[in-house]
Structure 1
């Protein structure tokens, strides 16, 4: 499991990439990926291309990010979801809270 974050050149967008299992073991690394950035981005992109597994604690972590980013006014996109990950997000009604692409 590896989590990396990359701010855009203008600092307005932060892309967080998650490789491997996204579960409770990723909790601290995921929080650090957005809390320890020098700037406060306007938009967040969560790249799930390399995510092989997602559980309920990962859903909770996404909700914590949403709260951190401004709640209902947060701009967060979940991109490159595998069919299995997309199914979990759909069952959890996350398409109402996040932009899923």
Structure 2
């Protein structure tokens, strides 16, 4: 998995590519650490447009990000198919804004 990130003012984007599994934890942590360290970021968008699969480790990584984010808003975007189904089954819509 690849995780590319960018920041513009108070908004940060993390675009994931590939299967979001335990094997991608290092890339995900590097991206999230970078955006959490940036001053003034209020919203972090995780883009799933190019993710075809995620496992329970990925769900755990998202939960850890939610804890580390504090007052920052986490938005999950462009999750479709199996990825969206897994997020829905895990009731992530109660913890995150999903678009």
Give yes or no for TM over 0.5.
Answer: yes
In structure 2, C-alpha distance between the alignment counterparts of 1:26 and 1:5, rounded to whole Å = 15
- Name segments (4+ residues, structure 1) moved above 2 Å: none
Matches within 5 A, 1:29-68: 29-37=27-35, 39-40=38-39, 41-68=41-68
Gaps of 5+ in 1: none
The one-character-per-residue Cα deviations of 1:26-61 (angstroms, maximum 9, x if unpaired) are 111101102134514111000000001100000000
CA RMSD, Structure 1 to Structure 2 (Å) = 1.2
Counterparts of 2:69 and 2:73, CA distance in 1 = 8
Shift of 1:74: 3.5
TM-score when scaled to structure 2? 0.91
Partner SS, residue 18 of structure 2:
strand
The aligned runs of 1:8-87 (5 Å cut-off) are 8=8, 10=9, 12-37=10-35, 39-40=38-39, 41-70=41-70, 73-87=71-85
The match for 1:6 is 6
